[in-house]
Amino acid sequence: MPSKIVSFTLNGRPTEIMVKPLETLQTLLREQLGYTATKAGCRQGGCGSCTVLVNGEPMLSCLLPVEDIEGQEIMTLEGLAQDGELHPLQETFFEKFAIQCGYCTPGMLLVSKALLDHNPQPSREVIVEALTGNYCRCTGYEPIIQAVLETAQRMNGHGK
């Protein structure tokens, strides 16, 4: 199979790049484009550290062939902050100590963003369910859950 050119939007910018057959989005982002916030964890779809948003939906980039993103909108952690300002989730993760080693953080933030975009007032149970595909070894999950709850409150006009 020959290489081909794939066009998509990456963090709001039109992108066109030559890719090898069956190359994963994770490999493209990290090795060709330098977007290293997308982590290379298990490379089998089990840890969630490679999560990106495709048209606003969380996807595991380690399992996603680049050919499948033709014409799609991709967001990595690098695209979450806007105009030099952290996204409210990033601020709250920092404040609530939801970041320790940081390896799972990009995936956790992007899954949380997708959740809040679809459900601005999620319950604790809904947050826990949304995060089940993302593995964290450091935080015990509680600070992450609290950060998402706090962000939802702030974005809905309650809290800090």
pLDDT tens-digit series, residues 50-73 = 999 999 999 999 999 999 999 999
- The structure's pTM equals 0.94
**pLDDT given for residue 70 in this prediction:** 97
Which pLDDT tens digit goes with each residue over 14-53? 999 999 999 999 999 999 999 999 999 888 888 999 999 9
Which pLDDT tens digit goes with each residue over 91-125? 999 999 999 888 999 999 999 999 999 999 999 99
d(CA 111, CA 109): 6
Q: Who's near 147: CB < 8 A, 6+ residues apart?
A: 89, 92, 93, 95, 96, 98, 112
Structural domains for the chain: 4-79 (3.10.20.30), 88-155 (1.10.150.120)
**pLDDT given for residue 159 in this prediction:** 63
CA 92 from chain center: how many Å? 16
**pLDDT given for residue 160 in this prediction:** 61
**Where does the chain show beta strands of DSSP type E?**
4-10, 13-19, 51-54, 57-60, 73-75
